Amino acid sequence: MTSPDASRAAAARAEARFADAEAWIAQDPDPETREELAAIVVSARGGDAGAAADLADRFDDRLAFGTAGLRGEIAAGPNRMNRVLVSQAAAGLAAYLLEHAAPGGVPSVVIGYDGRKNSDVFARDSAELMAGAGVRAVLLPRLLPTPVLAFAVRHLGVSAGVMVTASHNPPNDNGYKVYLGGEGEGSQIVSPADAEIAAHILRVAAERRVPDLPRGAFETADESVVDAYVAATAAVAGTAAVRPGPRVVYTAMHGVGWETFARVVEAAGFDLPDVVEPQIAPDPAFPTVSFPNPEEPGAMDLSFARAREVGADLVIANDPDADRLAVAIPIAGGSDAGTAAGGAAGAEASDWRRLTGNEIGLLLGWRAAEQAARATGDGGAEGTLACSIVSSPGLEAVARAYDLEFRATLTGFKWISKAPNLVYGFEEALGYLVNPETVRDKDGISAAVALLDLASRLHAEGRTLADHLDAFVERFGCHASGQISLRVTDLSRIGEIMSALRANPPAAIGGIRVERIEDLADGFGDLPPSDVLRIVLDGGSRVMVRPSGTEPKLKVYLDTVSDRGTVAERRAEAAASLAALDRGMRELVR
């Protein structure tokens, strides 16, 4: 039975939410979200428990601004993405840039947007509000991929960049990604900048109403920015493309990648790929996929159907904002039918196999190491290969073989991009940085050009990417990788599992002895503090455990290696160890 005091407190909280909602409606410039919220308030005041719970979910918390910026569902309220929240973020970022500007200087920002719902509206609001605050604001000329915005930050020499995108999130999501120029070199924000920007945003939200924020005139960049990106990205392929290359099928996954990618491909000298027509134009509804992420089962089924239709040798896909790259190869019954350098394969179609992010990352890392060696002209190599701590350790084996530096960073290209003397970086979630001198972020278009260059050169030799994966295993060993994602409804469950692993560390996992456990909570080596456990086992196996940064999931990353015997024997041994780790970790975290 609820006590009178608890009932009064609950009633007071409900009235406070109603007041917050009414204040929100009064400052919201978007009629759609105003009407949506007004209807919820009416229903909640009328005793609708579902509406009251919805209101609490929207107003009892706020989308946190962090190193990933903002990302969430488009709807009314501070715990959703909408014009009020974006306006407050723009005003807060402007205050941060003005605070950090040189005396007498005028800070500047370039703003880009993709094809998602409200991306253009959020971008224009940001440009007007930042201009009104005294920041020189430049809006990209039209909807464009995220890598073009990342490139523009350095190309235009601005203080910061904003990209309005939710990348490969569900259709009704949107987001706000921030880059810093100058000493930030066009990389995404990291601590302490994120906390400082967040503090300014909260101050704006507490002290200013959106209608009272001044708006100003912004500039619109001309096409020369896009032209410069196309030229720089086409150069990733080298001086001359190898033709004829393999027959390629491409999908933009209803995103903004195709127009820019096609221009780059032609500038690099490759033949244009066959396209998946239903997915080639931007469409915020994403009608042919339930989840616009090429990693998701079924997302590339139309690509495989098109590949069968035209007799393709290769499928490549960008995610909706084109900062990620997915690759698939045909299964011919030979070595390409099994797992390869990076581990377990996708299995959406019986005759096509989607390569894992680790497989692609290791092949592109090998390519980068070869290029670094050729650049020195004396057989040595200079530079750093980098990947996130949850990506395949196989990249370190490549670095050792070429006498390159290696750096493992926290997850996210905000960290990878900051590796000193970087020549290449990747993370297993289909992100690759192949041209750090021009784009300091993952770039699915430049990565696709690098992959096309590699595949074309192999094609000219009568070889395939599957053959090259075999060659990788033969030279560097078989580095097999797997992943467990435990989705929860109660976020506290993730903390409980992490605490249990810390309090009672396992002595063995799947029958493989644990050598040591490295807790990154207080930092480790040159890594900043992070809620990650790294479990090192006998034989070079490794398990990484961490909460997801964007979803209600606990993520477990499994890695094994074998360098004994033939290619087939190495694969079999690594796969057996991987299966044992998978069974053992599922028992620990179920």
Q: What is the pLDDT of residues 493-552, one digit of tens each?
A: 999 999 999 999 999 999 999 999 999 998 888 898 999 999 999 999 999 999 987 678
Is the pLDDT higher at 239 or at 345? 239
**Which residue, among 177, 221, 220, 485, has the nearest Cα to 323 in the 3D structure?**
177
| CB contact set of 145 (below 8 Å; sequence gap of 6+) | 114, 255, 256, 257, 260, 318, 321, 322, 323, 444, 445
CA distances from 216 to 132, 136, 157, 432, 485 (A): 4, 10, 21, 37, 46
From the centroid of its chain, how far is CA 93?
22
Report, as an integer, the average pLDDT of 79-96: 98
Q: What confidence tens digit (pLDDT) does each residue in 1-54 have?
A: 567 777 788 888 999 999 999 999 999 999 999 999 999 999 999 999 999 999
Which of 93-107, 223-237, 360-374, 518-532 has the least mean pLDDT? 518-532
Separation CA 90–CA 160 (nearest Å): 12
The one-letter amino acid code at 366 reads W
Lowest pLDDT segment from 25-29, 176-180, 239-243, 326-330: 239-243
Quick check: helix, strand or coil at residue 94? Answer: helix
Asked if residue 428 has pLDDT above 90, the reply is yes
What are the tokens at 59?
């107003």
Could you tell me the pTM of the whole model? 0.94
What letter represents residue 567's amino acid?
V
Both tokens of residue 149?
Answer: 């915005």
Altogether, the residues listed in the chain come to a count of: 590
pLDDT at 548: 84
In this model, does residue 338 exceed pLDDT 70? Answer: no
Identify the structural domains of the chain with CATH numbers, from first to last.
1-60 (no CATH), 81-222 (3.40.120.10), 231-338 (3.40.120.10), 359-475 (3.40.120.10), 477-589 (3.30.310.50)
- pLDDT at residue 415 is higher than 60: yes
Do the Cβ atoms of 588 and 546 come closer than 8 Å?
no
pLDDT, tens only, 115-174: 999 999 999 999 999 999 999 999 999 999 999 999 999 999 999 999 999 999 999 999
Q: What is the mean pLDDT of residues 270-274?
A: 96
pLDDT of 375 reads 83
How is residue 161 written in tokens? Answer: 């960049």
pLDDT in the model for residue 240: 66
Instruction: State the pLDDT confidence band at 344, using cuts at 50, 70 and 90.
Output: very low
Q: What's the CA gap between 10 and 347, in Å, rounded?
A: 50
Q: Does 108 participate in catalysis according to the annotation?
A: no
Closest CA to 427 of 298, 323, 534, 577: 323
Strand order through the sheet with 384-388 = 405-409, 384-388, 422-427, 431-433
Q: Cβ neighbours of residue 180 under 8 Å, at least 6 residues apart?
A: 153, 159, 160, 161, 186, 187, 188, 189, 193
The per-residue pLDDT for range 22-36, each reduced to its tens digit, is: 999 999 999 999 999
The answer to whether 558 and 581 have CB atoms below 8 angstroms apart is yes
Cis peptide preceding 78, ω within 30 of 0: no
Structure tokens that stand for 423 in this block: 């020549």
What does the mean pLDDT of the chain come to?
A: 93
pLDDT of the residue at 347: 42
Which residues are within 8 A (CB) of 408 and not within 5 positions of it... i.e. 6 or more apart?
386, 387, 388, 389, 396, 527
Read off the pLDDT of each residue in 99-121 and give the average, rounded to a whole number. 96
pLDDT at res. 525: 86
> What pLDDT does residue 343 have?
47
Q: Is the dihedral of CA 111, 114, 115, 119 positive or negative?
A: negative
- Please write the tens of the pLDDT for every residue from 448-486: 999 999 999 999 999 999 999 999 999 999 999 999 999
Q: What percent of the chain has pLDDT over 70?
A: 95
Which one is catalytic: 87, 159, 167, 446?
167
- Left if phi > 0, otherwise alpha if psi is -120 to 50, otherwise beta: which for 170? beta
- Let me know: does 145 contact 256? Beta carbons within 8 Å: yes
